[in-house]
Homo-oligomer: A and B are copies of this chain.
């Protein structure tokens, strides 16, 4: 189970006819309302692409998020996702098309239209096929269910050029003994380099970022403001630290719904500063990191992934910038593809991040082998058979120390292969 693993969620998927392949392309996840009309313990959060050019669903999600955070809109109850058409570069007509779909789902499940958040991925610049979607919605709603079959269908319906579906889950036990679950599904393969925004909340300093489509559910009881705080940080620390091709999309989104149903006996929502809160954040991070890494593994043309851990930086932000500069260098990506332990490309890419460091104080290890130290290569290390073995693995791990600061960050990229060029040079607009 994944997206309906937490208590209080149902999912469904169907084939609306949007994908030319005829594969399933419409998916819905809903959060059940409070039993007997009681207090709604639900929460919603979102981190969205920072791109200046965005699709209609992003415009709507930004507005919904803003109104939820300000307490002027009831917490969303559903996310409607289609693949095959991104509803981007579609102008005002695109917004109206999405709203028609939202309204129909809302009518069927008895909520407000703005409590249904749309999400779209696929071709850009073509009108959303509203009729196909509205024709499919009644059957979609009627088939809502929980369990592995519904979850698998959801994860497959949101795929585009993905080769495999991507899901994750986690479970924690609170100090009260209650079990809180987290479920998730995501998609992404190309145009992957999320830079997610945040919804600014006073006195919460981090500058987050995020990517692709990811949907996370949990049955924790948490306020929307706190859930947004968690996602502001996790968007920056997980999805925004992966890259396939350094091209953030106009549709990158992470949408999160919490039902609160695992904490019925609690008098208060989760306190993020408590031990339970920290445990919850760690589990959310694990789920987000898992989805993010699955996306890189399935990156277009990728044959292996590589992680770059930067340590000793003056701040987490500077470590993050260096790590992302390294994973995005085409020269480094080609070296990883060719199993070449090219320390020079890694170190010079690091030097391009706009963060000053002293190469004489820096060192680089690839796998267990230190290949660069004190501004020069460790010549004998380049013949170490453990280095060749590290370069041949499905995952190549590098660690770059740039000084003695406490800042560290890990970014994950993939190699650059001729297949990437084939996939993207032969694609027709």
Contacts and interface: CB of A to CB of B under 8 A. Distances in A.
B355 A52 contact: yes
A351 B424 contact: no
Interface string A330-350: 111011011011111101111
B421 A329 contact: no
Contacts of A331: 190-191, 245, 247, 424
Interface residues of A, number: 67
18 contacts: A51-B351, A90-B376, A124-B348, A191-B345, A245-B329, A245-B330, A247-B352, A330-B416, A331-B424, A334-B424, A335-B425, A338-B426, A338-B427, A340-B425, A416-B421, A417-B425, A418-B422, A420-B421
Contacts of A53: 347-348, 350-351, 359, 362
Interface string A244-255: 011111100000
Interface in A176-190: 190
Contacts of A329: 245-247
A167 interface: no
A424 B344 contact: no
A382 interface: yes
B352 A195 contact: yes
Nearest to A328: B246
A163 interface: no
B429 A341 contact: yes
Contacts of A372: 89
B429 A343 contact: yes
A334 B301 CA distance: 13
Contacts of A353: 52
A421 to B, nearest CB: 5
Contact of A421 (B337, B349, B359, B376): B337
Interface of A: 50-54, 88-91, 124-125, 190-191, 195, 245-250, 328-332, 334-335, 337-338, 340-345, 347-357, 359-360, 362, 372, 374-377, 382, 416-418, 420-422, 424-429
A89 B426 contact: no
Most buried by B among A330, A372, A417: A330
Nearest to A345: B247
B377 A125 contact: yes
A91 B360 contact: yes
A375 B124 CA distance: 11
A342 B334 CA distance: 25
B351 A250 contact: yes
Contacts of A359: 52-54, 89
Nearest to A423: B334
A418 B417 CA distance: 8
A336 to B, nearest CB: 9
Contact of A344 (B124, B245, B347, B376): B124
Contact of A340 (B350, B382, B429): B429
Contacts of A89: 344, 347, 359, 372, 375-377
Contact of A425 (B334, B354, B424): B334
Contacts of A428: 340
Contacts of A357: 52
A417 B426 CA distance: 11
Contacts of A342: 427, 429
Given A376-B91, A377-B125, A51 B352 contact: yes
Nearest to A322: B52
A348 B249 contact: yes
